[in-house]
């Protein structure tokens, strides 16, 4: 049966997606289980997936799209990689959850540690959010200090203490804390987090000079990819390492996106900076729910039941998630995977450049691609992102979708290339973007 691919503007029906969205909104807040899926910022409505394989998914109306969102990062091998699915199926027949020890947990810890020298131990959770929550409790337990420092535009999951934005700026005052960026977070909790701009070591120094003895840790994405792609210099990361060490604070790299994305390991190793703890998620679950905290035994042994820092999970170390993750990590040992997806990224850049539309470009590292549709310097901090770039992405989004190409439904999110993408898919993306760009120009 021929695949129905959306080719011309609005040439395909979304009647069933629209009907499901109506129905979902009755019973699920906003019709979604994670807010950005509502497609509000791109003036769209959610497309309801029916099935997915490789680089494509098919919606409930029978339309097929090339997917460049890839479940927000986990699917580095593409949708439903046959070898991963086979492992998942085999694991499922052996039991969906044990709530008890099994060999896969240790195999997973060993597989992660092989890629993350010189760390020694891993605690598994069911999501990246949970991994970060655990890491924060651990650094507070280890240091006996209350404050956490993060950076504006970094995302670390939806836990209370991390849904904060910069406060009124008085970082040298008695109350340095940030403001909550969500209702429902008491100011006492938000106030334990300090949010600074990326890239500014002088601000970090100033903060530590006043509050260093109360700061448990700095947490950041060493490769910030949740608010555009705000690449930081190795010097910035090294500076954070130096300052935290100087003040007896700890450094956490949240590599939930970047872990195993650019090579079989973390971004910290590429930048030459080793944090005290690393948090992982997304790729290590191979498309199934997972999170992981990685660190030295000295810190990790503070976790219960060895130490006094409590952490637990009914589904932690889930055998089906581990089956998907282990097979994925095994396949990622083949460097050809990374070479392929990076080459696709370079091809996309070249194709866009051919169109000679100066603002039509992407910010890219390896297989992480952020469309940033404006000329001039590329932003390295959240407040440098041009509103025009966001406007253009939003204006072009639905035309690209109508051409059968699914991008993340937010201008602040990055696209992910996978092993299942081929040159032809990237060419279609480029062609759709160029056509949409000409239409808005």
Q: Which residues bind ligand PLP (CB under 6 A)?
A: 127-129, 132, 155-157, 221, 226, 254, 256-257, 281-282, 291
Residue 126 C-beta: closest distance to ligand PLP, Å: 8
Per the annotation, the verdict on 254 as an active-site residue is: yes
Residue 109 C-beta: closest distance to ligand PLP, Å: 18
Q: Are strands 193-196 and 147-151 parallel, antiparallel or unpaired?
A: parallel
127 vs 143 by CB, closer to ligand PLP: 127
Q: Distances from the Cα of 106 to the Cαs of 23, 286, 311, 318, in angstroms?
A: 43, 17, 18, 12
The label of the residue with tokens 């807010």 reads 35
Q: Rounded to whole angstroms, how far apart are CA atoms 385 and 329?
A: 34
**Candidate list 155, 247, 397, 412, residue with the active-site label:** 155
Residue 221 C-beta: closest distance to ligand PLP, Å: 5
153 vs 212 by CB, closer to ligand PLP: 153
63 vs 129 by CB, closer to ligand PLP: 129
**Candidate list 282, 327, 393, 397, residue with the active-site label:** 282
54 vs 281 by CB, closer to ligand PLP: 281
Per the annotation, the verdict on 397 as an active-site residue is: no
Structure tokens at 71: 């479940």
Give the number of other CB atoms < 10 A from CB of residue 194.
Answer: 23
For residue 305, say if its preceding peptide bond is cis, omega within 30 degrees of 0.
Answer: yes
147 vs 290 by CB, closer to ligand PLP: 290
Per the annotation, the verdict on 155 as an active-site residue is: yes
167-172 long-range Cβ contacts below 8 angstroms, 24+ apart: 167/194, 167/195, 171/196, 171/203, 171/206, 171/207, 171/210, 171/211, 172/206, 172/207, 172/209, 172/210
Q: Residue 43 burial by CB count (10 A; 0-12/13-18/19+): exposed, middle or buried? A: exposed
Provide the CA 408 distance to its chain's centre, in angstroms.
Answer: 12
**Candidate list 81, 254, 276, 402, residue with the active-site label:** 254
Q: Rounded to whole angstroms, how far apart are CA atoms 236 and 347?
A: 30
Residue 294 C-beta: closest distance to ligand PLP, Å: 14
229 vs 257 by CB, closer to ligand PLP: 257
Whether the CB-CB separation of 151 and 217 falls below 8 Å is answered with no
Residue 128 C-beta: closest distance to ligand PLP, Å: 2
Residue 318 C-beta: closest distance to ligand PLP, Å: 13
Q: Which position's Cβ is nearest ligand PLP?
A: 128
Residues designated as active site: 155, 254, 282
């Amino acid at each position: 049966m021929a695949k129905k691919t959306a080719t011309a503007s609005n040439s395909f029906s979304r009647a069933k997606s629209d009907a499901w969205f109506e129905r979902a909104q009755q019973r699920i807040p906003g019709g979604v289980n994670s807010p950005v899926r509502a497609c509000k910022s791109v003036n769209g409505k959610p497309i309801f997936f029916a099935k997915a394989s490789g680089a494509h998914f098919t919606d409930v109306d029978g339309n097929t799209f090339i997917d460049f969102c890839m479940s927000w990062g986990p699917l580095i091998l593409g949708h439903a990689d046959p070898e991963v699915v086979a492992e998942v199926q085999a694991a499922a027949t052996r039991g969906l959850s044990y709530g008890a020890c099994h060999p896969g947990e240790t195999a997973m810890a060993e597989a992660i540690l092989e890629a993350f020298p010189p760390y020694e131990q891993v605690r598994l959770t069911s999501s990246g959010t949970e991994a970060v929550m655990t890491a924060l409790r651990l650094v507070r337990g280890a240091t006996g200090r209350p404050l956490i420092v993060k950076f504006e535009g970094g995302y670390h999951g939806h836990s209370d203490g991390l849904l904060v934005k910069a406060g009124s700026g008085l970082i040298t005052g008695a109350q340095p804390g940030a403001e909550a960026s969500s209702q429902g977070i008491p100011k006492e909790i938000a106030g334990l987090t300090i949010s600074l701009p990326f890239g500014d070591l002088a601000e970090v120094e100033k903060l530590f000079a006043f509050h260093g003895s109360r700061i448990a840790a700095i947490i950041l994405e060493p490769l910030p990819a949740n608010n555009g792609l705000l690449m930081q210099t190795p010097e910035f990361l090294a500076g954070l390492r130096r300052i935290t060490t100087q003040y007896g604070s700890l450094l956490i790299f949240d590599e939930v996106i970047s872990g195993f994305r650019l090579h079989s390991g973390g971004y910290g190793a590429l930048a030459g900076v080793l944090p005290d703890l690393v948090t992982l998620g997304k790729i290590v679950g191979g498309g199934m729910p997972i999170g992981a905290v990685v660190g030295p035994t000295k810190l990790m042994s503070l976790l219960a039941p060895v130490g006094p820092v409590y952490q637990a999970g009914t589904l932690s170390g889930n055998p089906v998630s581990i089956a998907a993750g282990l097979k994925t990590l095994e396949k990622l040992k083949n460097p050809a995977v990374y070479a392929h997806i990076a080459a696709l990224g370079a091809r996309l850049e070249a194709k866009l450049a051919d169109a000679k539309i100066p603002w039509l470009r992407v910010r890219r590292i390896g297989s992480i691609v952020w469309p940033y549709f404006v000329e001039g310097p590329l932003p390295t901090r959240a407040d440098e992102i041009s509103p025009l770039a966001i406007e253009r992405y939003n204006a072009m989004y639905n035309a690209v979708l109508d051409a059968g190409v699914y991008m993340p439904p937010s201008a602040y999110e990055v696209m992910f290339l996978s092993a299942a993408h081929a040159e032809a898919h990237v060419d279609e993306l480029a062609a759709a973007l160029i056509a949409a760009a000409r239409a808005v120009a």
